[in-house]
Structure 1
Amino acid sequence: MKLGFDKWVIIFTVTSAALLQMIDTSIVNVTLTQMMGNLGASLGDISWVVTGYAAANAVMITLSGWLSAKFGRRNYFAASIVLFTIASIFCGTATNVWELVFFRVIQGIGGGGLLTTAQSILIQTFPKEDLGMANAIYGLGVIIGPTIGPTLGGYITDNLSWNWVFFINIPFGILATVLTFLFIKEPAEKIPAGRMDWLALILLTAGIGGLQIVLEKGESEDWFETRYIVVMSVMAVVGIIGFIWRELAVDNPVVDLRLLRKRRFAVGTLFNFILGFGLFASVFIIPVYCQNLLGFTASQTGWLLMPGALMSGAMMPVVGTLLRKNYISPVWYSALGFLLFFIFCYQLSGLSLDTGADSFFWPLIIRGIGMGFIFIPLTTITVADLSNLEVPQGSALTNMVRQLGGTFGTAIITTYISTRSVFHQTILADNVTNYNPLSVERIRQYTALFVSRGNDLATATQKAYTLLKGAVTRQAMVMTYGDAMLIIGGFFLICLPLLLLFIGKKIKTQEHMEMSME
């Protein structure tokens, strides 16, 4: 069956909306320095631009299943796009940092409704035989978004101003809104929403919002040495435990946690956490390594990541076609993807200060192929046992978990880099002594260099030791980033056997034509 024009428009609409949301999770990261200068903000203040968006986004992703049922899938999707677009306008015209933070929270509220609702629209619109291809194209937004965000943000930072990272959303938001009202229809089956459970909403906001803030700000605030991090941690624990209790106790929960009783959905949700962990942590490490140690610009770093992102995009329809042919179980495609992701991490763990851009090309290509084999089969397996009425709630839960996985991954890797770099620096510094012939020779060479440039012997010697200290620090960071990539890759490798938990009743990725016509 060939996809008709209307369905292609639906795919384009939901993918564009998902792409906007995913790009905005990372696009501002490379513009923060420019924002600080233009708005007169400190590093601590400007970081709330990222944290506020992430916290609001996580809460709304979780609620999107209920809101979609309450107000109608199309209406909620369109309202989310409109709110996201309007907030983008106000973000771009903000005159101080706290005004920007406020509208980024509003933008996060709108963005939270895009990703999950887009996925449920596809699943409920397309028959089984076309769903693999639809999910493949939709996967472009989810996988490529976080990768091209730094590319786009770097280009805008180098050539325009930070305001345009928000203004660029406006034409796409308007187009997506118009197409939503013209082509997206409400499902035939009306999903019961029930009444809003305000206690559950408060517990959810406190739990997920608090956890997001702790993970985003904990490392920079020295974790539990800061009072508000302690308060947020307590709020997160109480909120999450209270929310789980509340949702299991009521008949019409805001988030149907009972779906986790279905083994495949529960395992799929776990693997979405792992996917988010690896995707965001690896995307975080590479730009930092390239810019801080290799001296790449934001634009250069972005273009470095582009081939891998394009490979992810190219693999989506290929994997979608393989799933449609139903040659082998999607579980084995996911296993191949996890193995390829480990190979990517292993290859990048051996980088050095002499590494050039060419050394990143094939590892990132392998990563792109791996992500293609992970995302679509994982989505197929996760929702395989859900009914149409359960899909919006299931999509909301898995997308929220994937985003939390990304936040956990970034926070854990950031903390690991901070502590591991001190370890490596201490080990290396122990070998830099006056009793080590190599150290003495390096100091002599540096001193001679500075003397040749007109410095007296005392000044030249002091600069030589400073230069050597800097070299030790850079080498320690290289070793630390290598260790971090091994940690991420090892995490994927260890989780491979868990894919066996998916084994069970055959997963149908294609229905017979006669059945789809009945």
Structure 2
Amino acid sequence: MKQSGFGRWIVVITAVSAAIMELIDTSIVNVGLNDIAGNLGATIEDVSWVVTSYAIANVIVIPMTSFLQRYFGRKNYYIASIILFTLASYGCGFASDLWTLVFFRFLQGVGGGALLSTSQGLMYDAFPPSQRAVASALFGMGIVLGPTLGPTLGGYIIDNYHWSWMFYINIPIGIIAVILSLVYIDKKEDEINIDRKAIPIDQIGILLLAVGIGALQYVLERGEADDWFDSSAILYLTIAAAFAIPAFIWWELRGTKAPVVDLRVMKNRNLFIGSILVVVVGYGLFTSVLLYPLFAQRIVGLTATQTGKLLIPGGLITLPMFAITGRMLAKGVSPRLIAGGGYVAFATFCFLMSMLNMNATTGDFITPLIIRGIGLALLNVPLINQSVSTLEPRQLPTGIAIVNMMRQIGGAFGVAITNTYVTQRTAVHRGDLVSHLQPGEMLSMERINAMTQALVAKGVNAIDAVSGAYKNLDLIVSRQALMISYLDTFRLAGLFFVVSFPLLFLLKSKKMDAAAAKAVADSAH
């Protein structure tokens, strides 16, 4: 039974809130790792497990959501996942040591993994076929706002409250979402009397998926911090991923008649190409969410709260842009044309950010961030729709799960590439800058003398003043090298969008008719 009126919008609010809550927690803790490490007496290297454990659990569960919904029933699985996510959030906030926090973050990721695809199905189900472009727009809004709001909200909490409130804020949202889901979400006919004995469980496929995707996610998350293959853990897990992922693909295609993830859907051209494009979008989204705060805080010197506030204008523009995108799709505007505009906008954002320097003002960030918001609004909805638009109804649940997984993997690749590229380019640029600071070179000596005199004027003795001047110059060179590496990384992100742009024209442009739209609505059931 389709919801209407007040009930429909309650479902919308519940589904979007759950999706945003899940995605916020992929990035909210990033700005609080220093505080968490200090409070729990852990190193920065160890505390990064707070991020890694969530991401690993998330990316393992997402592709299995279609099977899990079929096995437990969509409503039961959705509500149980919200409950698990909420209880784990409480456990995270209450944790008194690092590994307890990591354990609850993993459980939080298990619960959160269900919320994306299931929320998407609820959104489609709440609207009639003629209005499902609006549902896509509203859901796409949550996809973009979640990772964007994470650092903003996390920065505000770190600046004003204890880090545990980054997790406690999920509790009232989760409780309300459970109550509203119990009251307003209907069970489908096939959920009422589920014969679980008749549903085979692909145990080997689940094991290979968990090992392969989990190991890959760990390598991407921790590779740079652990010096890649200098770490035995990274080496062994790379080998595990290299074995388990091909074995999983073979098993799902050849080894079982009841695959946990039906990979045969990847033969569909739109889904295959769309998945590649979604990886690029995930890369761009998560890279920009990582790079912008680092540049604003480490180079320009903004606080976490100031950095978050600068995202507000872009967020305010993004909201109506999602509605406009939904209306354009509903009126028959080519999804490839809309997504192409998004590609141009995101490449423009990367170019503008690559032109900034350490003297940038807050106003210099606003225009690029607004363009970024517009680009992401134009990209997400058309790509999601077109990726699954040519699938058969029975293939749609798996198709949507794969698209969501590919976005998360794209984000993981983005973070790994960004961290590695920044480290390498910083070393290169530092070497170039230092090569120009030759002993006896006039400009260098003038700078050293000026800094020395400034320190002497503050009461520092002459010998310490000279030493301090050289240390200050070293810090200036390091900061300049880091800034240039950030600019290089923005250019690299823009290049990904330029290179993948032609793939848009390989997508079959097909407007989803009423039957197909209904199938998408049922795809997460």
- TM-score normalised to structure 1 length: 0.95
After TM superposition, what 4+ stretches of structure 1 lie above 4 angstroms from structure 2? Answer: 188-193, 509-512
SS of residue paired to 2:438? coil
The answer on whether the counterparts of 1:77 and 1:114 sit within 8 Å (CA) in structure 2 is yes
Q: Secondary structure at the match of 1:353?
A: coil
Q: Distance in 1 between matches of 2:357 and 2:422?
A: 16
One of 297, 301, 309 as aligned partner of 1:303: 309
Aligned residue in 1 for 2:437: 432
Amino acid at match of 1:271: L
Q: Deviations over 1:178-228 (max 9, x none)?
A: 121222223456799831111111111100111111111110110000111
- In 2, Cα distance between the equivalents of 1:220 and 1:508? 44
Sort the Cα spacing of 1:488 and 1:157 in 2 relative to 1 into closer, same or farther, 3 A.
same
- Counterpart of 1:99, as a letter, is T
| Residue from 356, 372, 377 that aligns with 1:372 | 377
Q: Which amino acid aligns with 2:65?
A: S
Secondary structure class of the residue paired with 1:354: coil
The answer to whether structure 1 residue 317 and structure 2 residue 323 are counterparts is: yes
1:416 Cα deviation from its structure 2 partner: 0.3
Asked if 1:441 is matched to 2:446, the reply is yes
Aligned 1:351-500 pairs, distance under 5 A = 351-500=356-505
Name the counterpart of 1:247: 252
Identify the residue that residue 284 of structure 2 maps to in structure 1. Answer: 278
Q: Is 1:507 aligned with 2:511?
A: yes
Q: Residue 127 of structure 1: CA displacement?
A: 3.2
C-alpha deviation, 1:261, in angstroms? 1.0
One-letter amino acid of the structure 2 residue matched with residue 428 of structure 1: L
**Alignment check: 8 A CA contact 1:324 1:509 kept:** no
One-letter code of the match for 2:94? T
**Secondary structure of 1:432 counterpart:** coil
Does residue 49 of the first structure (1) align with residue 50 of the second (2)?
A: yes
Tell me, in whole angstroms, the C-alpha distance in 2 between the residues paired with 1:272 and 1:138. 15
* 8 Å contact from structure 1 (residues 324, 510) kept in 2: no
Q: Which amino acid in 1 is paired with 2:148?
A: T
Alignment of 1:125-140 (within 5 A): 125-140=126-141
2: CA distance, partners of 1:178 / 1:503? 41
Give 1:450 shift: 1.7
From the superposition, tell whether residues 53 and 487 of structure 1 become closer, same or farther in structure 2 (CA, over 3 Å).
same
Percent of pairs with identical residues: 43
Distance 2:270 2:64 in 1: 22
1:212 and 2:213 matched: no
Is the 1:334–1:373 contact (alpha carbons within 8 Å) kept by the matching residues of 2?
A: yes
Q: Which residue of 2 aligns with 1:260?
A: 266
Which consecutive unaligned segments of at least 5 residues does structure 2 have? 517-525
Aligned counterpart, 2:118:
117
For structure 1, the residue ranges without an aligned partner over 5 or more in a row are 513-518
Distance in 2 between residues matched to 1:407 and 1:271, nearest whole Å: 15
Q: Once the two structures are superposed, what CA deviation does each residue of 1:455-493 show, in whole Å capped at 9, x if it has no partner? A: 333222221111111111111111111110000011101
- Residue correspondences, number: 511
> CA offsets, 1:268-294, max 9 Å, x none?
111111110000011100111111122
Conserved 8 A contact 1:89-1:170 = yes
Q: Distance in 2 between matches of 1:180 and 1:269?
A: 30
Aligned to 2:391, what secondary structure does the other structure show?
coil
Residues 323-362 of structure 1 show CA distances to partners (whole Å, capped at 9, x for unaligned) of: 1111x21111000001100000000001111111110000
Cα distance between partner residues in 2 of 1:106 and 1:41? 21
The one-letter amino acid of 2:162's match is S
Q: What is the one-letter code of the residue matched to 1:74? A: K
How many Å apart are 1:246 and its aligned residue?
A: 0.7
Paired residue type of 1:507: K
Which whole-Å deviations, capped at 9, do the CAs of 1:110-161 have from their partners, x for residues lacking one?
0001011111233344333111111111122110111111111111111111
Which shifted more, 277-286 or 33-42?
33-42
SS at match of 2:26: coil
Deviation of residue 511 (structure 1)?
A: 8.4
**Cα deviation digits, residues 376-408 of structure 1 (max 9, x gap):** 111111121234433221111111111000000
Equivalent position amino acid for 1:165 in 2: M
The 1:268/1:189 distance shift into structure 2, 3 A limit, reads farther
Taking the aligned partners of 1:187 and 1:246, their CA distance within structure 2 comes to 31
Give yes or no for contact 2:384–2:403 (8 Å, CA) kept in 1.
no
CA distance in 1, matches of 2:210, 2:398: 17
Query: Which residue type is aligned with residue 363 of structure 1?
Result: P
State which drifts further: 414-423 or 152-161.
152-161
1:176 counterpart residue number: 177
**Range that drifts further, 144-153 or 119-128:** 119-128
Find the partner of 2:354 among 349, 352, 367.
349
Q: Alignment RMSD, CA only?
A: 2.0
Amino acid at match of 1:105: F
In 1, Cα distance between the equivalents of 2:121 and 2:243?
Answer: 30
1:291 alignment partner, one of 289, 297, 302: 297
| Match of residue 25 from structure 1 | 26
- Find the aligned partners of 2:3 and 2:264 in 1 and give their Cα distance: 36
Aligned to 2:62: 61
Would you say 1:269 and 2:269 are equivalent positions? no
- Provide the residue aligned with 2:73 in structure 1: 72
**2:107 matched residue in structure 1:** 106
